[in-house]
Amino acid sequence: MSLFEAHAPEARLPVTVLTGFLGSGKTTLLNALLRDPAMAGTAVIVNEFGDIALDHLLVEAVDGETMVVNGGCVCCQLRSDLEETLRDLLARRRAGEVPPFERVAVETTGLADPAPIAQTLLNNALVSGFYRLDGIAATVDGVLGPGHLREQPEAAKQVAVADRIVVTKCDREDAAPEALVELLDRLAPGAERREAAMGAVPPDFLFGLDTADARWLGLADEEEGGHGHDHEHHLDDIDTVSLVFEEPIDWMAFSRWLADLRNLHGRELLRVKGILNLEGEEGPVVVHGVQHIFQSPMRMDGWPDEDRRSRLVFITRGLPRETLLAGLAGGS
């Protein structure tokens, strides 16, 4: 019998976090997405209605904080606590006060850190029983993005933790694609990217990712190795280290190593994601964490491809590689 519950995403509503630095095009992107018929049945949570231009889409105000949007979407204001907002939205859905919705999009402010939102979805028992983190998407300004990523820590972190990146304003003559690509390759080597003119991105690029599924890992490492091999990409103090283990892993030793990292260096662990081949487990086990908050490991029904190696990605800030790998021999 497995130590981990089978992954059952259909039991919880998927939540996509849309982040991006000031002026990077989140509003334009979200408006374009909500016009797509495929986005019917989406609940959108924003910090303030002034942050997003939905006036041309609104058809009915439910109360001071909740509105119904064309196509059956629901838009509501983020209260002081995301947990309260999510639970209230679910209660309204059950009571029939708002149209039924199948997914949630949370739009952050331009200076927001998306990690606390991810932590709420991963580890808050009053939320995680009904919602799950589907993915984190970040918009990047195709003109000003290089400066933002070099000079603004918030912008760099938003990109570093993202599963998908949308580059906006790429059709302008003053866009800087080469400089931006180099920076994005360093900050988020595993994140898929799309260019968007006027927010034209298909919904399935940002929604339906399922961060508990190994397909979002984005690991391109095909080298052969023994105990494990790693690769680093640097931009200031944000690093990405990917590890591959050829042999099955002892879970108890590995979990102790991961717990030590989380307890001692949780603030520096921007994001951790991986698929593991564990001794005694028939299928792969997925681990996923944001800083010191980790989702309970989940067993997948099967491997996504023929590769049975364990693969881990660490996105860190100011954490030396030697410190990260200390004690790894006991977990491999």
Q: At what angle do helices 177-187 and 153-160 cross, to 10 degrees?
A: 70
Looking at the structure, tell me whether residues 43 and 181 fall in a common domain.
yes
CB 121 within 8 A of CB 32: no
Q: Is residue 307 part of a domain?
A: yes
Looking at the structure, tell me whether residues 197 and 230 fall in a common domain.
no
Per-residue pLDDT of the chain (332 residues; tens, 9 = 90+): 455 554 454 578 999 999 999 888 887 888 888 888 888 889 888 875 555 555 544 445 566 667 777 666 777 777 668 888 899 889 988 998 888 899 999 988 888 888 888 888 888 888 888 998 899 999 999 988 998 898 888 899 899 889 999 998 888 877 777 889 889 988 887 788 999 876 678 999 999 887 655 444 444 343 333 345 444 443 557 777 888 899 999 999 999 999 999 899 988 888 788 889 999 888 898 887 877 778 778 887 788 778 899 988 888 888 888 888 887 754 44
Looking at the structure, tell me whether residues 42 and 166 fall in a common domain.
yes
List the structure tokens of 48.
């303030």
Looking at the structure, tell me whether residues 200 and 251 fall in a common domain.
no
Looking at the structure, tell me whether residues 161 and 261 fall in a common domain.
no
Q: Is residue 214 part of a domain?
A: no
Q: Is residue 128 part of a domain?
A: yes
Q: How many domains does the chain have?
A: 2
| Residue with token string 């603030």 | 267
Looking at the structure, tell me whether residues 191 and 238 fall in a common domain.
no
Query: Which structural domain range is residue 86 located in?
Result: 9-206
The pLDDT value given to residue 188: 86
Burial class (CB in 10 A: 0-12, 13-18, 19+), 30: buried
Looking at the structure, tell me whether residues 108 and 192 fall in a common domain.
yes
Looking at the structure, tell me whether residues 142 and 240 fall in a common domain.
no
Count CB-CB contacts under 10 A for residue 270: 23
Looking at the structure, tell me whether residues 182 and 49 fall in a common domain.
yes
**In degrees rounded to 5, what are phi and psi of residue 310?**
-75, 135
Q: Is residue 187 part of a domain?
A: yes
Looking at the structure, tell me whether residues 69 and 33 fall in a common domain.
yes
Q: Please report, for the domain that includes residue 271, its CATH number.
A: 3.30.1220.10
